[in-house]
Amino acid sequence: MKLNTRLDCDLVAVESADELTLLVELTAPTPSTTEVRQPATLQVVLDRSGSMGGERLEGALKALLALVDRLDPKDNLGIVAFDDSVQIVVPAGPLTDKAAVKAAIRAIEAGGSTDLSAGYLRGLQEARRVAGPAGATLLLISDGHANAGVVDPAVLEKVAGEASSHRITTSTVGFGLGYDEVLLSALAKGGGGNELFAEEADSAVALISGEVSGLLEQVGQAASLRVTWTPFVSGARVVNDLPCAPLPDGFVVELGSFYAGEVRRLLITLQIPGIAALGLAQVATLELTHVSLPDMVQHTETMPIHVNVVPGDQAAGRIRDPEVRSEALFQESQKAKRQSSRLLSQGRVQEASAMLRQTSDWLAGSLGDLPAPMQAELSKEAEQLGAIAEEADYDSSRAAKVSSMSATVGSRNRGRQTRGARLQLRWAAGDDVSEGQLTLEDWEIFRLRRALSPTLAAAIRAYTDTVRPELVAAAIAQELGAGHPSSEFFTEAAQHGGFRVVRA
């Protein structure tokens, strides 16, 4: 694992209080494709309550059948289904009889109410029973509000955190618009996993497949970053929404697992009360610990963090690092998403919408002299905040889930690419041309469809390599109108053989 750091400013004025922001970047290795991986352990906890009946349960079962094919016989798979009771569909263990496992999956039927905690706790027991040195991933799939058993998000987050300390990661897939995003977000945060939102069955299938891909590509487990500060620092905090354990002279940030080639980022602020002596001063020490896969060797890397203490007139001319400034702005937008999601979950739609719009305007006005690539990323972020605010006015439930998932991806797992959550529209001809692609989140696809007639809206769905002809692209562009941000893509697509839709 490669550890890199940079301060927003490495100069502080002598005897002057200051706040510094430290950007930490962690890069996971990309192992050889010939390297034999450790057996993976996946424990699925599936909501089979009455509301999951029909297309939702069918989609989830389709995804589970597909993942059986992707796992090796040496991998462990367990499936727990729950409604108001818990059923062990597939006892956790090696996939030695895939036909029997598939038959058990096909036999799952919808039932009664939703005792999510009972299913989750039983799933943890199964995962612990078979998890090897590489740990396990528990994937919880639910479409409803827990109405039986333990329903306090804080309690379940603590349970997930305890499991994470024993190398059991918890990821969640919320299905539809009726699930409790606060509870599923808490489980994912405590469990160090992903928080995913699938409104339709095909989205759920893609997201579940993406989670399995991540599991099979893990190169690091039990990663943590210990931050120890020196007497020159009065306090520090992690800006990202990550689990932290306080220590007398610092804290430990739990980072969980890493996928091959993954680049993750986090921000730490350091409070400097004033340093009396000029010269180089060490303000903190970082200690990154992780267990590499497949060799199961623990690694520790230590890095000191220094600042230069200079006279006040010299410090007055300092320029803060643009990359750290950019990341700080980005994380402020994630904080607004998280807060707005909570407000939306409480029914406080106007407050949430106002917060999102204010943050969007503030972000757009804060780009200043940042380099062009950073401005482009933050401008896109500002546009997304405004779009979520519009969505909140139209459907607060969808906006709450979008905000929560987006904040998790941007803050807890900053740099990790969530797989299967997006659709990519491509020109039928010239797919290698970057201008010939339009990538949208699932919820953005819903917004786009709302602007179209039912016939044309149906054309913007993922089908297997099916080209929509030029006339369809031209008709969509006409219905959207010149002012719509996606109309240019469809206008150009009409001149490039039409378009196709694929999962990104």
Q: pLDDT tens digits for 120-176?
A: 999 999 999 998 777 899 999 988 776 776 778 899 999 999 999 888 999 999 888
pLDDT in tens, 4-45: 999 999 889 998 999 999 999 999 988 765 567 788 899 999
Mean pLDDT of the chain: 89
Which pair of tokens denotes residue 224?
A: 């943590």
Complete DSSP assignment for 145-205: ---SS---HHHHHHHHHHHHTTTEEEEEEEESSSS-HHHHHHHHHHHEEEEEEESSHHHHH
pLDDT of residue 35: 65
Confidence of residue 464 (pLDDT cuts 50, 70, 90): low
As a whole-number percent, the residues of the chain with pLDDT over 90 amount to: 56
pLDDT in tens, 178-236: 888 889 999 999 998 889 988 887 788 888 888 888 888 888 888 999 999 999 999 99
Indicate yes or no: pTM above 0.85. yes
pLDDT of residue 36: 73
pLDDT in tens, 350-374: 999 999 999 999 999 999 889 999 9
Distances (CA, A) of 330 to 4, 10, 115, 503: 19, 21, 37, 26
Confidence of residue 435 (pLDDT cuts 50, 70, 90): low
pLDDT of residue 151: 75
pLDDT of residue 176: 84
| CA separation for the pair 361, 358 (Å, rounded) | 5
Confidence of residue 285 (pLDDT cuts 50, 70, 90): very high
Its CATH class, for the domain covering 41-218, is: alpha beta
pLDDT of residue 19: 92
Residues in the chain: 504
